[in-house]
Structure 1
Amino acid sequence: MQALAVLDLSYNQLSGPIPSILGNLTYTEKLYMQGNRLTGTIPPELGNMSTLHYLELNDNQLTGSIPSELGKLTGLYDLNLANNSLEGPIPNNISSCVNLNSFNAHGNKLNGTIPRSLCKLESMTSLNLSSNHLSGPIPIELSRINNLDILDLSCNMITGPIPSAIGSLEHLLKLNLSKNALVGFIPAEFGNLRSIMEIDLSNNHLGGLIPQELGMLQNLMLL
């Protein structure tokens, strides 16, 4: 099985832990195990799957932390850990997955701050960290991920102002910062988000005037 290119066990009724021996599949490019009843922790041995492009472990019952060893998967395009019970901080070295296009950790119990190092993921188009226990400010460094289409940080405990530099994300289609503890004003720089279709800032502590610049957003359908 070492030459196996795709392992798809998704949407079954599999239970128990993820076998650590899967780390021996060094030629596997796609590992789909989402939509099962898998429990236990994510084996750090998965970081040995050196040719892996897609790792889909979402919609299970996984616990523990995100292994820092996943940072060794430098060819990874898609990392989906959504809808589990993972906790602890997001490892800084996830930023070593330099080809990562999508990172979805929605619906877990992750805590700590959003790593500033995520700005190194220049290929990323979708970042979804919603519905966790993340705190601290929105890192201004996220504005360096120029290819972002989707940024969803909703339903956390994020504080501080909205960085005006977010307005430089010219490809952004969806921005969801709702249900946090953000303060300050809506940045006038949001008027530069010419591709934006959805902005959700509801259920925060924002004040001041609604910037007139938002009237320039011709594609905006939800505010």
Structure 2
Amino acid sequence: MWEYAGVCAEWQWSTLVGRSCRELYIGGGGVALGYLHQDEQTAVRFISDPLDAGSGLRFYRTGDRVKYLPGGDIVFLGRVDEQVKIRGYRVEPGEVSSLIQSCVGVSAAVVIARADHSGVYGLHAYITVDADYEEEALWLHLRSGLPEHLQPATVTVLPVMPQLPNGKIDRQALPDPVQAPRADATADVLWTPLQEQLRDIWALLLEESGIGLGMTFSVWAVTHCWLSG
């Protein structure tokens, strides 16, 4: 980790951007060669040293927006691309918003990630609609255009989108999402054979039968160990 931090601090902070808020790049001997069979993503995320192409150094663009403090600490401020992790997948809510807004009857849409009471993150959509909107048609539109892990857990219809003075959507003013589950969100539909095998392994280890598809097992494991003394 020292190798990563040293290269990152020397190149990204001292040389280029001082103490401004920028994307975090990580470099060093431990940086991977790229993504397996994903040449396009590799070209975007893994780059050579832009200050010295002959150095042989490579950097990974993390997508994390950070700020370097005078004392040397790095503060995480969020994602540059607004990506979040849902069930281990990196998800960009804006792409889901665009698909929702393309549905007939939806006039505006925004999708955010929120954690439930157990700390599991899910996508939640907020929409404004016109007279042509049909809830069933929206869900059919989503199921045909998105894999299961990208489909929002809830869709909340608002009379009007809360806005900031600059006209952008005020995400902080969005109400709590509707908690009613999707009609198709049954355990029998969602589990794949591999997921069932993993579920059974964790159920045995944690002595817990009520395991859901989106649960965070690391938290459960720590809790189980703590309760077991």
Classify the TM-score, shorter chain.
under 0.3
Give the alignment's TM-score, normalised by structure 1.
Answer: 0.27
Q: Whose helix fraction is larger, Structure 1's or Structure 2's?
A: 2
TM-score (norm 2): 0.27
Q: Max radius of gyration: which structure?
A: 2
